[in-house]
A and B are shown apart, each in its own frame.
Chain A
Amino acid sequence: MQTTSRTAKPSTAAPATKADDDKTLPLRINGRDYRFDGDDTMPLLWYLRDTLRLTGTKFGCGIGACGACTVLIDGKAQRACLTPMKAVAKREVTTIEGLAGAELHPLQQAWIEIDVAQCGYCQAGQIMAAADLLKRNPNPNDEEIGKISNLCRCGTYPRIRRAIKRAAEIAKSRASREGGKP
């Protein structure tokens, strides 16, 4: 089978130099190292969910249409349901569980303040898509925000817009706080 107990647990060692006979894929997910020795055509989504039990990344359509499975791969928002395991070797994967640092990500904070979630199922994907957007564009306008193509069946879009703008403010005030004294 594609998973062994060894691969399912984070390895404590730093990414080892790959031995010639080691056919496992080195992975880095939420800052932890893993090795994967299964079917490398399996979408990342199922490794995250079935093996690592990082269930914040959701299954919604399996064809990349809904975005509920959005994760960051090297900082870029990608659909985990369409990303085969072989495509994430040696790349940095961040899921919703790994988004917060010492404090919540500004988007997570804003999402709570604006009370975005209704059922909440798509929201992790929405936040990951927005995280990519804010990284590229710290002050997105309505049109730029509207390029987020993730589906929300509950119709929370107006609050998602508000929360992204609020997150931009939070990020700015944190940056000035950490930017040192005048």
Chain B
Amino acid sequence: MKRDNKPTNLSRRKFLVVGAAASGALIVGWRTARAQQTLPYLGARIEPQSLGLFVRIENNGDIWIGARGCEIGQGVKTSLPMLIAEELDVDWSRVRVEQLPYGYVDTDKGPSDKYGDQGAGGSTSIPTAWKDLRQAGATARWLLLVAASAKWNLPAGQLRTQAGHVLAPDGNKLAYGELVEAASKLDPPAEPQPLKNPADFKIVGKPTLTVDAREIVTGQTRYGIDAYRAEALVAVVARAPWIDGTLASLDDAEARKVAGVKDVVRIAGPKPGAPFDGALADGVAVLATNTWAALKGREKLKLEWKPGPFADESSESLRRQADDLLKPAHADKAVAVRRDGDVDKARKAAHKTIEARYALPFLAHATMEPPAALLHVEKDKALLIASLQDPDGASEVIAAITGLARSKIEIRLTRAGGGFGRRLKNDYIAEAALIAKQTDKPVKLLWAREDDLRHDFYRPFYLFHMAASLDRKNDIAAWSARCAATPRNHRDVRLKDRPVWASTLAPDDFPAGLIPNFELSLLPLDSGQPRGWWRAPVHNATAFAVQSFIDEIAVALKQDPLALRLKLLGAPRELPYTGHGGPTFDTARMAAVLKAAADKIGWGRKPEADRGLGIASHYTFGGYAAHAFEVSAIDGNVVVHRAVCAIDVGRVVNPLGLEAQMMGGTIDGLSTALNLGITLKDGKVQQSNFGDYSLLRMAQAPLDVEVVIVDSGKEPSGAGEMGLPSALPALTNAIYAATKVRVRELPIGDQLRKIL
């Protein structure tokens, strides 16, 4: 299959002209077919015809499909067009994909989005597109069918479509390209069109290669950081090293002497204690004609900062605070997240109570492409080219800082060098806007890796105290999880009306609903550090505590860890799940992925000497994942000999992409468990670059991740995040099986080397 996206006779600009003239949101606004007939289509050798916002068909049979999502490596640039192509009923090898820009429109009823939801967060791209983008494809197909029906004077009901053609009962057929002119003059259907029976899918469910892979491997892809303008000035920023620190003095004389440095400007961080909705820190930006000059200029700045109120925070003090808060004396400070039955009573009646604590550090996102933006702010308009996850938020923050109307802010989306939640925060866009406002030139903002690790919205710090009370039959009669954590809602306006535990803990996480006496509570910790969403938010921490603890209970009871999990899940049924990914949690689907992972790794066999098998599972955002690892840790050196990930995300759109996400999530989980943590001393982040924030390298990663896809055929969830959470406890459970050492604090670091 040829998947060549080289520029054709249709330039990007022309395509954007068509797109920009269209109006209204997708479902109601599909009636763009006629509107664009009046648009000039200058210079095109072949007259293309568009059917709505997402589909353009050329006379030569090529089908252009617009990809609306922010591509951060999760595969939406391929998978979302697949959904449209499926319902449009075209030959995928004729499909070409074009990244759509951010589609903001003002309407009578306020701001609206032209292409639907374009953000990348919460693994929602596929479930959302499953509803609206398939309908987009079906509507375009309907227009073509009706056009053929008029041409042949046959009822549309007698016609069918196949691979880009409309077929008549007598064997006549018309290519879509021959119908598109007539089709584009039709009124859109009044009702949503019926969608295909999954049994008839020809594209969805088939392994499909990344549409722009050729550009990637030849170095042609332009990420946000690759956007240049001849007249642009490169900006790098020196930032206050403390939260709410402020600039005390600045001497930029030496910096300005560096050849190429054009200006030095100040930018303001947040007001002390106020929401983090602009730049994250007070800063001084050096603007230069090239990156090297800007970096050298920054080194020459003479700066003094006032520390602010968090200058004595440290990881040790945070841990002390957490240990202290977990003492019974502070029980009144606990905020209940969920409470079933009577845990205290059950504990008093219990035969035995098992307790353990699990600690997880702050984590940085460390996207391979550091934050960067090209922003040109002019008097009456602005242009942003950047790698984003939340273009709505970027548009809002530029409007807030520049005073421009959002409709005057053009945003071009690029492929992003990773997201992992970092780009759900637009602080770097705010920085670019604060700088760009002070110059008439375009500003090309670049963060060095040190800037990125030290100025992030970190995954919260967690310390869990788990307790399980067993009755005389050794059933778990009571479960208590008390969690001291730095709540995610800290200085976040988007969470201000939510409970303090929102985005930090999930009330219906396993094993909630399966144990009669259950409590989950949060003890909020004070910390100045900004907190953000980090791949599989909430679950990247809770899975470790819960799935480690289940393993410890199994050991204490001398039960098989898999059998205990299956017993807890019990009879197949759906339990209510109020958090993101709900409305239900299906015990049978969880059990199925556990069994699939266990089967694949050969659960129950006796592994080679010095090796152990570990298993864990977790439900994240509608997806069910289980990991099983075979591990050794001789002298404390962890080697993952086999890694299995079983996954049920409902109906699979692109199995090749799903396998990639599970492989990546698994390795991300291993990397995180083994090596990663952000620590604080004297109020400052101690890590600076990949030397001390050491992502897993190829030699440490398993040779393969064996992905088992359990196709339940249910409504699809996304897949970007589910592959991570259970990887961490599966690893430490396997380490226990191999060594009898229980890791309760992450990262593993050199803990095992000290013991073994």
**Do these two chains really belong together in a complex?**
yes
Please list the residues of chain A having a beta carbon within 8 angstroms of any beta carbon in chain B: 1-3, 39, 42-43, 46, 49-51, 53-63, 65-66, 68, 95-97, 99-100, 104, 107-108, 111-113, 115, 117-124, 127, 142, 145-161
Closest to B417 in A: A121
Q: Is the CB of B690 within 8 A of A50?
A: no
Q: Is the CB of B219 within 8 A of A95?
A: yes
Contacting B369 at CB < 8 Å: which of A1, A119, A149? A119
Contacting B218 at CB < 8 Å: which of A60, A96, A159? A96
Task: Find residues 313-372 in chain B having any chain A CB closer than 8 Å to their own CB.
Answer: 366-370
Residue B290 at the chain A interface, CB threshold 8 Å:
yes
Other than the known A115-B209, A124-B217, what 20 A-B pairs have Cβ atoms closer than 8 Å?
A2-B260, A39-B292, A42-B292, A56-B218, A57-B219, A61-B449, A96-B218, A108-B218, A119-B367, A120-B415, A120-B417, A146-B698, A146-B699, A150-B697, A151-B697, A154-B664, A155-B664, A158-B703, A159-B663, A160-B698
Q: Is the CB of A121 within 8 A of B369?
A: yes
Contacting A118 at CB < 8 Å: which of B218, B223, B660, B705? B660
Given contacts A50-B290, A50-B292, A118-B660, contact A65 B689 (CB under 8 A): yes
Closest to B372 in A: A59
Which residues from A are CB-within-8-Å of B702? 158
Residue B168 at the chain A interface, CB threshold 8 Å:
no
Which residues from B are CB-within-8-Å of A152? 368, 698
Q: Is the CB of B259 within 8 A of A154?
A: no
* A95 and B219 alpha carbons, distance in the complex (Å): 9
Which residues from A are CB-within-8-Å of B221? 56, 120
Residue B310 at the chain A interface, CB threshold 8 Å:
no
How far does the Cβ of A125 sit from chain B's closest Cβ, in whole Å? 9
Closest to B669 in A: A155
Closest to B700 in A: A146
* A159 and B702 alpha carbons, distance in the complex (Å): 11
Closest to A85 in B: B292
How far does the Cβ of B294 sit from chain A's closest Cβ, in whole Å? 10
Quick one: which of B209, B219, B292 has the most chain A CB within 10 A? B219
Closest to B221 in A: A120
Q: Is the CB of A127 within 8 A of B660?
A: no
Q: Is the CB of B367 within 8 A of A115?
A: no
Q: Is the CB of A122 within 8 A of B292?
A: no
Q: Is the CB of A50 within 8 A of B259?
A: no
Q: Is the CB of B72 within 8 A of A159?
A: no
Given contacts A49-B291, A61-B449, A63-B690, contact A151 B695 (CB under 8 A): yes
Q: Is the CB of A158 within 8 A of B697?
A: no
Given contacts A49-B291, A58-B369, A121-B418, contact A156 B663 (CB under 8 A): yes
Sampled A-B contacts (22; CB under 8 Å):
A1-B289, A1-B290, A43-B292, A46-B292, A53-B228, A60-B449, A62-B448, A107-B217, A111-B216, A111-B217, A112-B214, A113-B209, A118-B74, A119-B367, A119-B416, A119-B417, A120-B417, A121-B368, A150-B698, A152-B698, A153-B418, A153-B695
* A119 and B212 alpha carbons, distance in the complex (Å): 11
* A21 and B73 alpha carbons, distance in the complex (Å): 50
Which residues from A are CB-within-8-Å of B416? 119
Contacting A158 at CB < 8 Å: which of B218, B369, B663? B663
Given contacts A43-B292, A56-B220, A161-B703, contact A112 B698 (CB under 8 A): no
Q: Is the CB of B703 within 8 A of A63?
A: no
Given contacts A2-B259, A65-B689, A66-B368, contact A124 B219 (CB under 8 A): yes
Q: Is the CB of B217 within 8 A of A104?
A: yes
Quick one: which of A2, A61, A112 has the most chain B CB within 10 A? A61
Which residues from A are CB-within-8-Å of B689? 61-63, 65
Q: Is the CB of B259 within 8 A of A1?
A: yes
Q: Is the CB of A145 within 8 A of B698?
A: yes
Given contacts A61-B689, A63-B691, A97-B218, contact A119 B701 (CB under 8 A): no
* A56 and B415 alpha carbons, distance in the complex (Å): 13
Quick one: which of A43, A53, A121, A152 has the most chain B CB within 10 A? A121
Q: Is the CB of A59 within 8 A of B370?
A: yes
Give the 3 A-B CB pairs with smallest separation, nearest first.
Answer: A56-B219, A119-B73, A155-B667
What bracket does the count of chain B residues touching chain A fall in? 35 or more
Contacting A119 at CB < 8 Å: which of B228, B368, B691, B696? B368
Q: Is the CB of B664 within 8 A of A118?
A: yes
Quick one: which of B216, B223, B225, B691 has the most chain A CB within 10 A? B216
* A124 and B668 alpha carbons, distance in the complex (Å): 20
Q: Mark B655-688, 1 if CB is under 8 A from A, else 0.
A: 0100011011111100100000000000000000
Given contacts A149-B698, A158-B705, contact A61 B220 (CB under 8 A): no
Which residues from B are CB-within-8-Å of A153? 366-368, 418, 420, 668, 695
Q: Is the CB of A60 within 8 A of B292?
A: no
* A150 and B368 alpha carbons, distance in the complex (Å): 11
Closest to B223 in A: A121
Residue B210 at the chain A interface, CB threshold 8 Å:
yes
How far does the Cβ of A145 sit from chain B's closest Cβ, in whole Å? 7
Which residues from B are CB-within-8-Å of A49? 226, 291
How far does the Cβ of A2 sit from chain B's closest Cβ, in whole Å? 7
Residue B96 at the chain A interface, CB threshold 8 Å:
no
* A17 and B222 alpha carbons, distance in the complex (Å): 37
Q: Is the CB of B216 within 8 A of A157?
A: no
Residue B704 at the chain A interface, CB threshold 8 Å:
yes
How far does the Cβ of A79 sit from chain B's closest Cβ, in whole Å? 12
Given contacts A2-B260, A122-B368, contact A157 B698 (CB under 8 A): yes
* A56 and B215 alpha carbons, distance in the complex (Å): 10
Contacting A161 at CB < 8 Å: which of B226, B367, B698? B698
* A127 and B217 alpha carbons, distance in the complex (Å): 8
Given contacts A117-B210, A120-B73, A159-B663, contact A104 B218 (CB under 8 A): yes
Which residues from B are CB-within-8-Å of A151? 368, 690, 695, 697
Closest to B664 in A: A155
Q: Is the CB of B213 within 8 A of A115?
A: yes
Closest to A149 in B: B697
Which residues from B are CB-within-8-Å of A59? 225, 291, 370, 446
How far does the Cβ of A8 sit from chain B's closest Cβ, in whole Å? 10
Which residues from A are CB-within-8-Å of B696? 155, 157
Closest to A162 in B: B704
Q: Is the CB of B213 within 8 A of A112?
A: yes
Closest to B662 in A: A155
Which residues from B are CB-within-8-Å of A156? 660, 663-664
Residue B234 at the chain A interface, CB threshold 8 Å:
yes
Q: Mark B493-528, 1 if CB is under 8 A from A, else 0.
A: 000000000000000000000000000000000000
Q: Is the CB of B209 within 8 A of A112?
A: yes
Closest to B699 in A: A146
Which residues from B are CB-within-8-Å of A55? 219, 222-223, 225-226, 228
* A122 and B695 alpha carbons, distance in the complex (Å): 13
Q: Is the CB of A117 within 8 A of B292?
A: no
Residue B75 at the chain A interface, CB threshold 8 Å:
yes
Q: Is the CB of B290 within 8 A of A46?
A: yes
Closest to B214 in A: A112
* A38 and B2 alpha carbons, distance in the complex (Å): 43
Q: Is the CB of A148 within 8 A of B290?
A: no
* A66 and B660 alpha carbons, distance in the complex (Å): 21
Closest to A118 in B: B73
Q: Is the CB of B290 within 8 A of A119?
A: no
Which residues from B are CB-within-8-Å of A112? 3, 209, 213-214, 217
How far does the Cβ of A29 sit from chain B's closest Cβ, in whole Å? 13
* A119 and B367 alpha carbons, distance in the complex (Å): 10
Contacting A157 at CB < 8 Å: which of B228, B367, B667? B667
Q: Is the CB of A54 within 8 A of B260?
A: no
Q: Is the CB of A115 within 8 A of B660?
A: yes
Which residues from A are CB-within-8-Å of B293? 1
Closest to A148 in B: B698
Which residues from A are CB-within-8-Å of B291? 46, 49-50, 59
Quick one: which of B291, B293, B698 has the most chain A CB within 10 A? B698
Q: Is the CB of B690 within 8 A of A120?
A: no
Contacting A68 at CB < 8 Å: which of B74, B289, B368? B368
Q: Is the CB of A155 within 8 A of B671?
A: yes
Q: Is the CB of B704 within 8 A of A158?
A: yes
Q: Mark B440-453, 1 if CB is under 8 A from A, else 0.
A: 00000010110000
